[in-house]
Structure 1
């Protein structure tokens, strides 16, 4: 027998271990293949809400297709996370007083592998806690031997095809880590800054132009001043020169459409080596690239001697002071601007001119665009195709090199004259190029961008270029589940690389999900103190630990105190343990196609109650079915009453809704279909209806039909729910399945129940809908008139349809049980003072004279009316206060208006009850 209460912690760990040990996550065979690749989390990572949301979606698809008979592979793995991992190990070494440069490259890499072996599996263990069911026996790592070989093969081929080259371009440069980084690793947020207005004198002494800049230090590298071609104010100056202050050189005045004549003075300083937009202007006009920074973002020897060696911000202060001294500082304005910072280092990123390796992305983009245009790849929701096309049609060459030690080292060697040789190793390079052993060669120090190896993810993880068997079976993969923020960085690059090297698409569909935000729609971030940890929601966390977790590492005391107070206010008792199933179901309920989701803790509370509801319903069913005839012997006759035929019909309709919703990636609708059926139809209605029928076991065939329906409906419901709630369904199914005549070691390898439209009995559905309407009408009267639930009522009927007498006759026992009725009769003569409910065309009258004391009830209602009117006056006063409406946050005002509407509706209901009571004779 099942435990009295549902306690998820013990059964979750027990079942997961059994599933993994038994190898249930591996492909099980089947005519059709279904495969999906995990978006590889960083090996340094820990589970956050975005991971939790994404992986539960993938797991639902995987478990569903596994049960639906597909040969299912969920390929797991992690990314080596070049910058993040190198920084983690460097910090550990620094704490020991060690430095990677002193250790040398090989020793440092060994330390990283040691760290990975001991600490690099945190997130995969957390994914297990989430119930994720990938084939862990096939887990890959982007730096493992097979994937490293694939990366090297791709680089060499692309280089020899002329699609990889080395060149000098602007990159996002992190002066703290000393490497180029991708746009995705740059966080741009608004900060308070300054706008400095400098006067640039004309070289001929005839006047000056005023330019404005947020980065005064870059003026040392200015190559021109630009105006708009149609700007009449400056048309006569185009072609003249500026005497660039502090630099002892002249720069031209040029005309370019890039300039916005309406912004500022309409004059823009152009610094091609230190601004991405300026770089493009410089290329159009053949301007020189004057790089004034070194790798630390300090002023280098290309700048005037006085500023050399200064930190960029020290140089900024000195340059502003020098302009002031020369009388060329016109003014300084406060200015809010977006400041780009490295997501790992936190320092301000500089556009920086360096030698890097690039992929000719334009050459690869054409087939990738056509694959989506032709429908070989489908985006869900479809509008994300527009984002994809916009990026791909304006694609820039891809910088693939990083100035790190941890990663795939670029397989290129240089001789003393700078000639480049690309190959698998130095020996093969020498052999292929017939180089003398005496010629010194030096391998490139850089490594490849981690996005380069992850671009090969769908085929490299399946064994390319060696293992064709797995590729033939599971490639192209069925679907990619990902966030919109990496459509370009990962999705597009996978499409380009896979088409080029495999001649096929990497996946058939791309399901793009939204971001998980807090209950107010704010992005979750450490600085805001609104981050939720999925493991905390599963296991629970006390308030002091939660506060410490949210404030640790914050440098600003005021910020920490604000987060402390907000956390205490939101979670005065910490966070309860809700279990994995409740968390997963919450994610599904919020997963409307492509929209960002607001995660409200109240929802997970509700779905923890759903788990309890299922558990208690299963216990009721088992208590009524264990040791009794449940129809397992098909040779014995059984009778299905109206309720049995109805609940089976509802099950078939639910299964159809679920299947279609999963196919459309509408996890919100799929979860809602099961929730409505299990909670409302099965638990709240059918179990109550079965109680009535099981009291009379005089007809064995009827009792057999009821128990057969109870147990089989529950068993199929558990199978349907399993992809969303794996743990509770497995635990209950183990107890229920034998009674339903179903055998097997685990629910996860059972067949997914398929709807049978022929089993839908429309007459039974209509009859039970009528019964529910009748019972709800009586329950409404009880609530409105404050009649105790245990008080048995006599009801009178009038009007109605021709089917009503038949339904009352056949369902009278159930009606009396569900509505708490003493008797049901048709009205003859004049109606007494009654409360009236409507169900269809049937009027249901509950005589009130012998049920309630009109005077006492009127007195109670008067007090309630008085309280409501006072509250309404208070809310109206608040909303009529212009100061409150203007200053209060929009959500606070909206809540007050909603409260006003709710209280007004309650008042109307009370006044209606008073009117009904006034008709009762006293």
Structure 2
């Protein structure tokens, strides 16, 4: 297993990523098959919309899933990550309709149902699933052989079976209820598909004249255009002001209708005038009032949110907002409009159409969720399903304990058509897996099912249910779900309900909710703000591994992420650091036999630095395992970053160069330990940075061409009495090695303070804190001299002798004090002259800066940024003066 070619000087991520992914996929490394000799580990991908393209949200979500599946694959589990896409009814119809308009082709209504659905399938074949291709760019190790689509034949069968079963159990019914309506998609929406936004609006005070001419009631509303659907005015039964008027009639403005004054507790005497217009067909609360008082329910809206003929010829066909303006103008002309207040209020918007919804009464199909919710509530309450972060359980419990019936029908064509048929002659309704065979003029329900009605079955339908497949028996229930908290109701809760109902088993054991990604200003990423980078551009610039590593590095559990592309420099720099470390090793020659476990190495002969490094790697392995068990991905990458960048690259590789120069057995041992640690680091990092770790494992020579790092075991702890543990009280050896590196940092800082070139040999004096430390430092003398580039280092327990060594600045460290005698390095007198001049200048500048900042006129008139910059400048000057005084004191 020798590296045959010298590694390139620079890491070219694009070349490496393009090289390895096809190899992994062609060799079937991602495919999991039922294996009774292994524990199963499975994840189902949150199926992205078939219309979707990769976003940073997808990057975060899928990187986390990939870390988990690669980690468990390396730990010996049989792993399958089930991928697929969602047909996304409303979104896909909108996308196809837009493409037809842009191409100047006939639209949905002109094509008719069959032709339009055929067109959507063609569009899906040509353009759908782009995001699935893009996930490969990210390195996602999905089990692509098991890819599914929510309208595949098998999944469609599962949807029909569930609908029929729930219907015959009495859970699914068709009824006339208040629903949310999207005027753009022209379909019903569930409550969860409505997004509430704070917007500016008006409160219109309208006068409703009493029919007997004795006065008028003042009613406040935000929607005067809906008055055409009013069927009553309500007052509270205990409101003394209006009690005598209950039962009387008022003239409905802009119409020739009379409507009653009714008493109902819905009217709040303390709010507004205490009088409320009741529009049963267009407000959920009014609908309930209408049922209590047997009021007529008048729908005044067309499907596109224009007013219909019930509003009269002047308003029929007008857009709702145009109708509002016209109604207000006419009410003002008739002197029936009172005060108009400006307000800020919450308005429901269609998640898909991004327009205000309408609430209206309509015949729809519903699913009663109360019984289905009970076992799903218990699954989370008992801890069988765990949420990370745990706080999301409160949100889940609140929604499930107050669950409403689910409106499952949609007035679109792309989707799973409801398996219900109507006999117009007999008024029978037939619900079944196939069309009825009984004679009669049967017509199928036009509506299709809500997209979520198929995706709530995803964890088991994707494995072949209702058939009893080997995959279902082995991989269900899945282990972990990674998803966003925004679909905790749409999807997570419903999947738990479906699993408990149809599989009699929870669908997953853990749910990890990802963070929201924001820009550096704290704004949500969006195309309209122009702050949502294209991940493919980021990958092209920084590399997939850099993007993956960086986004996890800045993603603490349960907290929003502040993202900018520049933060990916952290991941790219880390990749380059790792590349350079491995290139250094490759340049030393062939890899060492037995490097995987050090079984042929006498561990008692390891140097202190080698024991220190192995102890750190041990600690890192332990911490990473614990972090991933608790879904603390952010903590895991921080631990790895620190140990690789600082402990390994900055210190251990440098210190190992001493042993490599010695040759013989010392060199052999140094190389073997280097190989042992590097291969552990590569395996430790593989779930997070799959491409570079695979490339380096082959480039250095740890793996042959037909091997892959993803099938190598995740690193284990080195269990040996000769390897100290830094999980316990820090043992003396580790303190000594840490202290040695601290002394080296201090010595280098002294050199830098006096601008002594790194290449110039110098003399140091170290006063050790005691005999044990002095003995240790003398044993490490060769390494100290190499790392400090010293001509000589005197180690003593005695005080530094200024008379013998001359002026020498010093720095204190844990193991003692290090001195840098300046004789022969600089002209002390000249250096003191320069420092004195620098001190004098700094004191003048500080005096001027303080005077400026104590001037109240300046503070009052100057922009905040200017004042802040002046304060920062003063702090910098004061720090420079402090350092200058230290240097002067050292020289004197």
Provide TM-score, normalisation by structure 2: 0.91
Give the one of 845, 868, 885 matched to 1:915: 885
Q: What residue is the counterpart of 2:357 in the other structure?
A: 349
Q: What residue is the counterpart of 1:703 in the other structure?
A: 667
Residue 16 of structure 2 corresponds to residue 11 of structure 1: yes
Q: What residue is the counterpart of 2:87 in the other structure?
A: 80
Structure 1 residue 188 displacement after superposition: 3.8
Range that drifts further, 83-92 or 459-468: 83-92
1:769-796 Cα offsets, whole Å, 9 max, x none, are: 1112211222333444544433444333
Aligned equivalents of 1:884 and 1:440: distance in 2? 83
Q: What residue is the counterpart of 2:688 in the other structure?
A: 724
Residue 429 of structure 2 corresponds to residue 420 of structure 1: yes
Residue 756 of structure 2 corresponds to residue 778 of structure 1: no
CA contact (8 A) 2:86 2:149 kept: yes
Q: Which runs of 5+ in 2 are unaligned?
A: 1-5, 726-730
Residue 296 of structure 2 corresponds to residue 326 of structure 1: no
Aligned equivalents of 1:112 and 1:127: distance in 2? 23
CA contact (8 A) 2:736 2:773 kept: no
Aligned equivalents of 1:408 and 1:389: distance in 2? 30
Aligned equivalents of 1:275 and 1:160: distance in 2? 31
Residue 645 of structure 2 corresponds to residue 679 of structure 1: yes
Q: What residue is the counterpart of 2:209 in the other structure?
A: 201
Aligned equivalents of 1:409 and 1:83: distance in 2? 14
Please provide the CA RMSD for this pair. 2.8
Structure 1 residue 601 displacement after superposition: 2.5
Aligned equivalents of 2:519 and 2:856: distance in 1? 28
Range that drifts further, 236-245 or 834-843: 236-245
1:725-776 Cα offsets, whole Å, 9 max, x none, are: 00000000112343xx889611111111122354435444222111122112
Residue 833 of structure 2 corresponds to residue 855 of structure 1: yes
Provide TM-score, normalisation by structure 1: 0.88
Where do 1:328-407 residues align within 5 Å?
328-407=336-415
Aligned equivalents of 2:213 and 2:860: distance in 1? 58
2:622 is paired with a residue whose SS is helix
Aligned equivalents of 2:450 and 2:743: distance in 1? 67
CA contact (8 A) 2:386 2:511 kept: yes
1:220 is paired with a residue whose SS is helix
Aligned equivalents of 1:582 and 1:20: distance in 2? 21
Q: What residue is the counterpart of 1:800 in the other structure?
A: 769
Q: What residue is the counterpart of 2:560 in the other structure?
A: 596
Give the one of 712, 723, 726 matched to 2:676: 712
1:49-89 Cα offsets, whole Å, 9 max, x none, are: 11111000100001001111111110000000111111222
2:780 is paired with a residue whose SS is helix
1:683 is paired with a residue whose SS is helix
CA contact (8 A) 2:235 2:261 kept: no
1:394-451 Cα offsets, whole Å, 9 max, x none, are: 111001111111100000000114321111222xx23xxxx3x2x2010001111100
Q: What residue is the counterpart of 1:733 in the other structure?
A: 697
1:240-268 Cα offsets, whole Å, 9 max, x none, are: 5543322322232434267482x544443
Q: What residue is the counterpart of 2:3 in the other structure?
A: none
| Pair 142,663 (structure 1): closer, same or farther in 2 beyond 3 Å | same
Range that drifts further, 157-166 or 108-117: 108-117
| Pair 715,921 (structure 1): closer, same or farther in 2 beyond 3 Å | closer
2:585 is paired with a residue whose SS is helix
Aligned equivalents of 1:326 and 1:358: distance in 2? 44
| Pair 744,865 (structure 1): closer, same or farther in 2 beyond 3 Å | farther
Give the one of 676, 679, 694 matched to 2:660: 694
| Pair 903,811 (structure 1): closer, same or farther in 2 beyond 3 Å | farther
Structure 1 residue 804 displacement after superposition: 1.5
Structure 1 residue 920 displacement after superposition: 5.8
Residue 635 of structure 2 corresponds to residue 669 of structure 1: yes
Aligned equivalents of 1:708 and 1:147: distance in 2? 54
Residue 11 of structure 2 corresponds to residue 42 of structure 1: no
CA contact (8 A) 2:32 2:80 kept: yes
Structure 1 residue 6 displacement after superposition: 0.5
1:836-884 Cα offsets, whole Å, 9 max, x none, are: 3111262223344654422224434655676677778778889974577
Aligned equivalents of 1:624 and 1:237: distance in 2? 99
Q: What residue is the counterpart of 1:546 in the other structure?
A: none
CA contact (8 A) 1:238 1:255 kept: no
Structure 1 residue 349 displacement after superposition: 1.8
1:880-911 Cα offsets, whole Å, 9 max, x none, are: 745778xx7xxx79xx85x6776555434322
Q: Relative contact order, CA 8 A, sep 6+: which one is greater?
A: 2
Q: What residue is the counterpart of 2:278 in the other structure?
A: 270
Q: What residue is the counterpart of 1:754 in the other structure?
A: 716
Aligned equivalents of 1:187 and 1:607: distance in 2? 36
Q: What residue is the counterpart of 2:514 in the other structure?
A: 513
Structure 1 residue 110 displacement after superposition: 1.5
Aligned equivalents of 1:746 and 1:498: distance in 2? 36
1:509-559 Cα offsets, whole Å, 9 max, x none, are: 1111111111111011122111111111011xxxxxxxxxxxxxxxxxxxx
Q: Which runs of 5+ in 1 are unaligned?
A: 540-576
CA contact (8 A) 2:591 2:675 kept: no
Q: What residue is the counterpart of 1:314 in the other structure?
A: 322
Q: What residue is the counterpart of 2:127 in the other structure?
A: 119
CA contact (8 A) 1:480 1:510 kept: yes
1:464-522 Cα offsets, whole Å, 9 max, x none, are: 11133211211111011011110001001111111111101011111111111111110
CA contact (8 A) 1:79 1:141 kept: yes
Q: What residue is the counterpart of 1:27 in the other structure?
A: 32
Q: What residue is the counterpart of 2:299 in the other structure?
A: 291
Q: What residue is the counterpart of 1:495 in the other structure?
A: 496
1:707 is paired with a residue whose SS is helix
Range that drifts further, 843-852 or 19-28: 843-852
1:773 is paired with a residue whose SS is helix
CA contact (8 A) 1:2 1:732 kept: no
CA contact (8 A) 2:592 2:675 kept: no
Q: What residue is the counterpart of 1:456 in the other structure?
A: 457
Number of aligned residue pairs:
864
Range that drifts further, 121-130 or 847-856: 847-856
Q: What residue is the counterpart of 2:265 in the other structure?
A: 256
Q: What residue is the counterpart of 1:570 in the other structure?
A: none
CA contact (8 A) 1:241 1:253 kept: no
2:342 is paired with a residue whose SS is strand
Q: What residue is the counterpart of 1:557 in the other structure?
A: none
Q: What residue is the counterpart of 1:545 in the other structure?
A: none
CA contact (8 A) 1:655 1:754 kept: yes
Structure 1 residue 720 displacement after superposition: 0.6
1:307 is paired with a residue whose SS is coil
CA contact (8 A) 2:236 2:266 kept: yes
| Pair 800,634 (structure 1): closer, same or farther in 2 beyond 3 Å | closer
Aligned equivalents of 2:624 and 2:77: distance in 1? 18
Aligned equivalents of 1:780 and 1:283: distance in 2? 82
| Pair 141,399 (structure 1): closer, same or farther in 2 beyond 3 Å | same
Structure 1 residue 335 displacement after superposition: 3.2
